[in-house]
Amino acid sequence: LIISKSDLVQHFDFDMEKIEKDALALNPSLKIIVTSAKTGEGMEEWFEFLKHCRGTARRALA
């Protein structure tokens, strides 16, 4: 689960902890990455996740 625009959270009624808790209740193995392109938060983690997925897909197709 990618939660983007984290730099705007303080401007809205958005409870990040509740969102994460509820998402994990639905899928305990869910990977949650919080990102902000503006601040750079979470971008490296997201890119690494994408690289991992690409490698996994390539191996599956080989």
Q: What is the per-residue pLDDT for 62?
A: 76
Q: What is the per-residue pLDDT for 61?
A: 85
Task: Check: CB of residue 21 under 8 Å from CB of residue 15.
Answer: no
The rounded distance, in Å, linking the Cα atoms of 55 and 6 is: 28
The rounded distance, in Å, linking the Cα atoms of 4 and 29 is: 20
Domains of the chain by residue range: 2-61
User: 7-58: per-residue pLDDT in tens?
Assistant: 998 899 989 999 999 999 999 999 999 999 999 999 999 999 999 999 888 8
User: 12-24: per-residue pLDDT in tens?
Assistant: 998 999 999 999 9
Using alpha carbons only, how large is the chain's radius of gyration in Å? Answer: 14
**Residue 2 parent element (H or E):** strand 2-3
Does the reported pTM lie above 0.75?
yes
Q: What is the per-residue pLDDT for 1?
A: 96
